[in-house]
Amino acid sequence: MANKTATESIDPATTKMLLEARRAGLETVWDRFNKQQPQCGFGQLGICCRNCNMGPCRIDPFGDGPDKGVCGATADIIVARNLLRMIAAGAAAHADHARDAVIVFKEALEGRARSYQIRDEAKLRELAAEYNISSWGEQGGAADLANALLSDFGRQEGYVTLTRRAPEKRRKIWESLGISPRGIDREIVECMHRTHMGVDNDPLHILQHGLRTSIADGWGSSMIATEVQDILFGTPSPRRSEANLGVLKEDEVNIIVHGHEPILSEMIVEAASDPEMIKLAKSVGANGINVAGICCTGNEVLMRHGIPVAGNFLQQELAVITGAVEAMVVDVQCIMPSLGGLAACYHTKFISTSPKAEFPGALRMEFSEERAAEIAREIVRTAVENYPKRDRGRVLIPRERSECMVGFSVEAILKALGGTPQPLIDAIVNGSIKGIAAVVGCNNPKVPHDHGHVNLVRELIRNNVLVVTTGCNAIACAKAGLLRPAAAKEAGDGLRGVCESLGVPPVLHMGSCVDISRILVVAAAIANKLGVDISDLPVAGAAPEWMSEKAVSIGAYVVASGVFTVLGTVPPVLGSPVVTRILTKDLGDAVGATFAVEPDPFKASKLIIEHIESKRRALGLKV
């Protein structure tokens, strides 16, 4: 059993908790994954269709069975339609997140969400200028900005506003291909229409719209979410914290915030520091209240407040199995429905808060912006009052936890560089930094937990590639100690020298999944400074352990922005040679970047380094 567990995660805290789970007879995501073996081969290849009730239809990849669906759709059509639907779902998740943030922003300005306030007025004014809003009065301009942001979701004329941040050369490519996004929701709706039976049946045409939808995500909804959350909660700046399950405390009330939207978690953090709540905690025998994060909600409070992060996606069940969590508070996205049943095996309250998401076995405490502070206090109180029910004989908190430096927003990076990207450009030009890689994405039980993330990043920094990271990769790197300035000793000589001179890690934590938009802004700034397109830069992207539909949309908009991207798990497209060729070859001619698939992180690092070196040669830089 120990050997088997070792192949499932490289993180010792995770390994320890998996052994505890199996000793206790508790099921985790890895057990359910093993029970699914062998997984459906048709599904893995993407050649099954359920888009109408004449099916489900499947195409035989070996040529012995049907080569068309009942309607006549080929494997190429089916794979392309399925991929477009994945992009639509991923883009919709980010769009809904962003819209909720804008609505809270609007309600705060109108005095209806009194728990929220403007924390970065400078960014508010800068964003308003991008939307051509200059009249202010008594917050009139800010209200106009909120309405302008909302209009981008249903825009019917022109293009999504923040696409203007992309370099002019990139925008011209989008326009020439007909993939400039018109309205965020419009593109998502059109995905669903095009994939309805009997509409779009040309794989290339289908995938072109997938790129347009994804651009509406990366340069639209995700970018809007990042900007508005910074305005409301503060733009991140470098701070220190800790990561891994060892951040949980035996003598304090442990509250985990899990999901993706900081609208609730910001209030939980505030309520947990209320002297009245702390006094209540001490009255029930605890020494205080400890808030920790999981997934991207964890990243949000980590980078703004230094709240420790307990783990990434695959560790959510293990946090409950420590027996030390009084409340697991969730909102939306990447939350396993298994948590309710698992929490029932312990004293843990599994608290569901979003009107959009219900879970089996959850305690419903629906959140509303109008009563934000009040509801957050109710949730914290519920957790505190649950503390005496903890079974101390079942508490097992791994000791593993690592220090990390987080909060590298675009503004923080520019401040460290003296207000301009020029020092970074100079370091790239002189070869101290060979290039930049954005390594992001989920965990996936198909890959030993954190193995792809940590090993790819280590190989890249060893070869003088600066890594910027978000999401579950950022948490994996934090646990592995790669987000500490001291990690510069693992980097190549050139990158090490740059990091030591600035006092920063070789891996820069830039936030949650929607904050990949920050990476786009940095790439655009460098390209504009050099007078080139993003596709000309020595940059690359990677998602070593991706699993979600959001990751498909992210990958599509990163490639559509001109960034070569390596995926560590195989997308369901191999059933179509045409779609596979488009994604891995033909896109290079169209948008200047392609996908590659390489599960081995060491081989993936070679692909990225070779790509970066080829871009350096094209720019006339020394390799």
Annotated binding residues for [4Fe-4S] cluster, as ranges? 40, 48-49, 52, 57, 71
Q: Give the integer Cα–Cα distance in Å for 498 and 427.
A: 8
Q: Give the integer Cα–Cα distance in Å for 372 and 380.
A: 12
Q: Give the integer Cα–Cα distance in Å for 76 and 73.
A: 8
Q: Give the integer Cα–Cα distance in Å for 152 and 441.
A: 26
**Residues near 455 by beta carbon (within 8 Å), at least 6 away in sequence:** 601, 602
Q: Give the integer Cα–Cα distance in Å for 335 and 261.
A: 12
The DSSP letter of residue 449 is B
Structure tokens at 535: 């596709």
Query: Is the distance from CB of 100 to CB of 107 less than 8 angstroms?
Result: no
Q: Give the integer Cα–Cα distance in Å for 332 and 164.
A: 30
The DSSP letter of residue 503 is T
Structure tokens at 449: 């937990």
Q: Give the integer Cα–Cα distance in Å for 434 and 492.
A: 10
**Angle separating helix axes 471-479 and 451-462, nearest 10 degrees:** 80
> Tokens 């989920």 belong to which residue?
442
The DSSP letter of residue 37 is P
Query: 97 phi and psi, to 5 degrees?
Result: -60, -50
From the list 299, 338, 331, the residue with the least C-alpha distance to 316 is: 338
- Strand bridging mode 57-58 / 48-49: antiparallel
**Residues near 444 by beta carbon (within 8 Å), at least 6 away in sequence:** 545, 546, 547, 569
Q: Give the integer Cα–Cα distance in Å for 29 and 17.
A: 12
The DSSP letter of residue 532 is S
**Residues near 555 by beta carbon (within 8 Å), at least 6 away in sequence:** 214, 541, 543, 546, 565, 567, 595
DSSP string, 75-86: HHHHHHHHHHHH
Instruction: Let me know the angle formed at the C-alpha of 274 by 272 and 277, rounded to the nearest 5 degrees.
Output: 70
Binding residues for [Ni-4Fe-4S] cluster: 260, 296, 334, 442, 472, 513
Query: 192 phi and psi, to 5 degrees?
Result: -70, -35
Binding residues: 40, 48-49, 52, 57, 71, 260, 296, 334, 442, 472, 513
Nearest-10 Cα torsion for 68, 69, 73, 76: -60
